[in-house]
Amino acid sequence: MRKLIAAAAILAVVFVLGCQDTKKVTELQGQVDKMTQQITDMTAQVTTLTAERDSLNKVVVDLMAKLPPVKGGTMTKPPVSKAPGAGTLKPPTKK
């Protein structure tokens, strides 16, 4: 969107600074009008997408409110258990 605004500004500057040829002026004015319309369309899209995002956020908040609370307060990791006999070394047997 910034590129479109910058391009429209550059075209406007070129238009003001010295395009005396009416054909060229008309062409540049057409380009400016086209870019202005694109900016308007994109602004409408941003508005629509923002409204959709806000609606989805509301749905998520509503669903989160309906979830049952977690039992036990906080979630903790269960203790690590060792297999029976793990961690003990047996001396080697002689043959």
Residue 2: predicted pLDDT: 76
DSSP 19: -
Q: Domain tally for the chain?
A: 1
pLDDT along the chain (95 residues), means of 10: 77 70 83 94 96 96 88 64 60 66
- State the pTM of this model: 0.46
For tokens 């080697």, name the residue.
92
Range(s) of the domain holding residue 51: 2-66
User: CA 31, CA 24: separation in Å to the nearest integer?
Assistant: 11
Give me the DSSP letters along 14-47: HHHHH---HHHHHHHHHHHHHHHHHHHHHHHHHH
Give me the DSSP letters along 69-85: PPTTSS--PPPPPPPTT
Please check whether residue 80 lies inside any domain of the structure.
Answer: no
Please check whether residue 83 lies inside any domain of the structure.
Answer: no
Please check whether residue 74 lies inside any domain of the structure.
Answer: no
Please check whether residue 76 lies inside any domain of the structure.
Answer: no
Please check whether residue 90 lies inside any domain of the structure.
Answer: no
